[in-house]
Copies of this chain bind each other. A is one copy, B any other.
Amino acid sequence: MKRWTLEEIGKLAGVSRSTVSRVINNHPNIRPNVRERVQQVIAETGYQPNSAARSLVSNRSRIIGLFMPSVLRSAFTDPYYPQIIQAISHACNQNDYIVSLFLSQTVEEESKMIQRIVGSGVIDGLIITAEHTDTSFIPTLQAYDIPFVQIGRPHDTTKDDISYIDVDNYAGAHYATSHLIQQGHRRIAQIATIYNTAGVDRDRGYRQALVERGIAVDEELIEVGDFSETSGYEAMQRLLLKKPTAVFVQSDSMAIGALRALHEVNIQVPQDVAIVGFDDLPSASQLSPSLTTIRQPIYRTGTLAVETLIDILNTSKEPVRRIVLPVELVIRSSSMAN
């Protein structure tokens, strides 16, 4: 299959290369019959513009990068990632963009990657997942004027020049904890995380909900995990010594681990210990017992990240976009005493 050029298509259609270019780019002032003739030839030949040539002259590649910094090999298997990747990929297609994937496992790899991405002009913009608190590469992006949007609230809220899409982690944790209080629980433990702002916000929501109902926060009842199932399992084992009657777990994958820990020592959920998770992963409804959790709109988050970035690309970087999506308490068996 031959690769055609504008010049050749022009010759076949009996017009100049510019006219063909205009037809392709939908310029208004083309005589209808010329336009039609050209389109005919394009259809027959299957001509498609060379993207390198286009990028070179327009300074736009129509490629956006999805940058996921320091994703641990194990944590990446959390179903959150496939979902967000799928959403982003799909939204890019819809908008005729291509998405390139950048996964780094160490901080050094990360900065090398950023250099490569930023300097060569391969990508028009970047979507960044706010995986951890080290965001030392952000100044580089800003220095090079690479538009980007972050998924998840930025760590440093004093600088408010970063566009982001977040879900309402604070409210979610507050719903979850309040729900447990309403069920009559007082010794409500938490399996927390400390790696990103989602964890920070969920922790705040948990604490605030307790305080509002006059329950003192007991630091003994807070254990830390890293979003992996194993870490949830281990955190639950530690918590068992403290005899909580309920646990708010900051992610469903850790909640699955926690359930396993309880199951192994024959503690009944929800009768002996109630559990609420966070994410509403596909499997949450299929666990036994089915998992009460906070549903966050993962797919929508990915879609919005793409649309926001493209909007920034097409207009300007101002104003900064900040979007916080609502979450929802989904009550299932793991928290219902009756």
Q: A residues touching B (Cβ–Cβ < 8 Å)?
A: 1, 3, 46-53, 55-56, 61, 63, 66, 71, 73-74, 76-77, 79, 81-83, 85-86, 89-90, 93, 96, 98-103, 105, 109, 113, 115-116, 119-122, 143-145, 229-230, 233, 257, 260, 263-264, 281-283, 286, 288
Contacts and interface: CB of A to CB of B under 8 A. Distances in A.
6 contacts: A49-B120, A51-B122, A52-B121, A63-B122, A85-B103, A98-B122
- Which of A55, A71, A116, A233 has the most chain B CB atoms inside 10 A of its CB? A55
B86 A103 contact: yes
A109 B86 CA distance: 14
Nearest to A68: B89
Q: Which 6 A-B pairs have the closest CB atoms?
A: A48-B119, A52-B55, A52-B56, A51-B120, A1-B143, A77-B79
A295 to B, nearest CB: 16
A23 B37 CA distance: 48
* Copies of this chain in the oligomer: 2
Contacts of A283: 229
A282 B85 contact: no
A288 B143 CA distance: 52
Contacts of A51: 120-122
Given A51-B120, A260-B286, A260-B288, A100 B98 contact: yes
B89 A101 contact: yes
Given A1-B144, A119-B46, A82 B93 contact: no
A286 B230 contact: yes
A86 B73 contact: yes
Contacts of A83: 76-77
A114 to B, nearest CB: 12
Contacts of A121: 3, 50-52
Contacts of A102: 89, 93, 98
Contacts of A286: 229-230, 233, 257, 260
A90 B105 contact: yes
A337 to B, nearest CB: 21
Nearest to A61: B52
Contacts of A73: 86
Contact of A100 (B48, B63, B109): B63
A54 to B, nearest CB: 8
A209 B105 CA distance: 42
A296 to B, nearest CB: 15
B229 A74 contact: no
A231 B79 CA distance: 17
Contact of A101 (B79, B101, B109, B263): B101
Nearest to A257: B286
A48 B89 contact: no
Given A260-B286, A283-B229, A109 B89 contact: no
A100 B100 contact: yes
